[in-house]
Chains A and B, each alone.
Chain A
C-alpha cells in the first residue's frame, strides 16, 4: 500500500496553554513495497507520525492517505478497523502488550478482533510463530514465563498473524543483545521481501537504516529535515551533525580516509570487504609509483 502525507500538521491540546505542535506541515511519500527508515531524536515527532499510519491519530491539518484510506479532520473513515488490520504496528517493547493466558491465545487475539474465521486462525498462528522463530511447544505456555526475547517474538507474531500489508516497526530491537538485534532485523527483512510488505522502520540506528532501508526520512523538531536514498542522505555529514545525528561508521571512516589520503573513493553502500579492497588499491597504487 502506498502511504502519502500531504501537509500534515498535528497539534496536541490545541487552544490550551499546553498546546504543542508535534508534526508541522509534513509531506512525503512511501512507495508500496519499499522499506523506509524514519530517523530522528526523541521528541522529533516520530511517535506522532507513527500513530497516523493506522489512524490512532488523525491530522489536525492536511491529509494522510494509506492505500485507499484517507485520513483528515474532515474525512475520518467510520471503519478504522479495516485499516488497522492492514497496517500492523510493532510498538517499542511490544512484549508489554501481552495479556492472555497462553502464547497461542495472545497471537490469536488480533486475528479474532479483526474477524478472521476460526478455521484460519490456527493456520495463522502456526505461520506467524514460525516466521518469528517460536518453537511450537511454547504455544501452550503462559507468555509471562518466557524470556524477554521470546516474549517479544510472541508479541510480534501477534501482529503478523493479522497478515498486514504494511508493517510499522518502532525500534523493534531495543533492549536485545547484539545477536538478538541482528536476528530480529534479518527476520523483518526476510518477511519484507517474502511477503512483499511495505515496511516503515523507526530507528536510532544509522547502521540498520543503511543496511535495510531503501529510503530514509530524517525528522527534526516535528518537521521533515531530509529524505532520500540512504547513500545520498548518509553522506551529508554536516547537515546531519547540525541536528546531532551521526553518519554510519563506514561513512565516517571513508570520509576521514579520503581526507587523509587525498582520495575520493565514493560511498556506494559498499561492504567492509569492498572498502578494504579500495584501500588496498590506494596503498598498492603507492607501490607502483
Chain B
C-alpha cells in the first residue's frame, strides 16, 4: 500500500514545489481574476506564456498535467461550439444549411476556451506541486484573521489534517473488509443493480463502526497527549516567505502590468 498518493501531488523539488503555499494560492487567486481582463491576442499570449512557464518550472511530467485536464476537455469543447453557433458578430465566413458561422463566434469561443483552460491548468498545478498538508497550513494561516469573529480556524485545519492522515488507513480498511465479505459470498462486481447496492451494506456498516472506534481512541490519545484546543498552542509547521516567493511575486506583478499595457495598447 506504499503507492498511495493523496490527491494528485507529484513529489519534487522544483521552484514551484518550494514556493510558499500561500504565495501559490494568492497568485492563483489573482490569476483567476486577471484572466477575465485579457482581451486580445497579445494579452492572452502573455497569460499562456506565464502558465506554460510555470508548468515548465514545476518539472511535473506533462502526462500528469494532461490527466488533470481530462475532465474539462468536454467543457472546453462545448463552450467553444456554443459560441460558434450562438455568437453572430464579425464577418460571416461559413454558411451551411441553417447554420451561419461568424468570425466573432470563433474568436469568442477561442477566448473562452483559453480562459477555461488556463484556470484549470494553474489550479491543478497547485495540487500537483503542493501536498494537501501544505494547503491546509496555508488555509489555516490565511484564515487566521477570522479568529477575531470566533471562527474555529485551528479546529478546521486540525480536522482537515487528521482526515488527510486517515485516508490511507481507511482505504486499507475498506480493502480488508471487502475481502472478508467477498469470502463470505458477497459479490460486489456482478448481479443486478439492486443486489449490488445491497452488497454495500456489509461493507459500509463495519467501516463506520471502525471509523467511530478509531475516532474515539484518537480523541483519547490526543487528550492524553495534552490537547485542549487551539489556545496556547505553539506550532512546528511554519510557513516562510522566501527569496523564491518574492521573485515570483515580482514576476507576477510584471505580468499584470504587461497585461494592462497590452490591453490598452496591444
Tell me the A residues contacting B by CB distance below 8 Å.
13, 16, 18, 20, 51, 54, 56, 81, 84-85, 87-89, 91, 94, 96-99, 109-110, 112-114, 144, 158-159, 162
Contacts and interface: CB of A to CB of B under 8 A. Distances in A.
21 contacts: A18-B2, A56-B183, A84-B183, A84-B185, A88-B183, A89-B180, A91-B176, A91-B180, A96-B173, A96-B176, A96-B180, A96-B210, A97-B184, A97-B206, A99-B201, A109-B185, A109-B202, A110-B185, A113-B185, A158-B184, A159-B183
A43 to B, nearest CB: 10
A19 to B, nearest CB: 9
Contacts, number: 63
Given A84-B184, A88-B183, A99-B201, 14 more contacts: A20-B2, A56-B182, A85-B185, A87-B183, A91-B179, A94-B180, A96-B206, A96-B209, A97-B177, A97-B202, A99-B206, A109-B202, A113-B186, A159-B184
Interface of B: 2-3, 173, 176-177, 179-187, 201-202, 205-206, 209-210
A162 B210 contact: no
A20 to B, nearest CB: 8
A113 B184 contact: yes
Nearest to B182: A56
Contacts of B187: 81
A56 B206 CA distance: 19
Instruction: Name, among A16, A98, A99, A159, the residue most crowded by chain B CB atoms within 10 Å (CB to CB).
Output: A99
A156 to B, nearest CB: 12
Nearest to A88: B183
Instruction: Name, among A16, A84, A87, the residue most crowded by chain B CB atoms within 10 Å (CB to CB).
Output: A84
Nearest to B199: A113
Top 4 A-B pairs, shortest CB-CB distance:
A113-B185, A18-B3, A99-B205, A97-B180
B156 to A, nearest CB: 30
B151 to A, nearest CB: 37
Contacts of A98: 206, 209
A81 B177 contact: no
B206 to A, nearest CB: 5
B1 to A, nearest CB: 9
Contacts of B177: 96-97
Contacts of A13: 3
B168 to A, nearest CB: 14
Instruction: Name, among B179, B183, B202, the residue most crowded by chain A CB atoms within 10 Å (CB to CB).
Output: B183
Instruction: Name, among B181, B182, B186, B209, the residue most crowded by chain A CB atoms within 10 Å (CB to CB).
Output: B182
Contacts of A51: 179
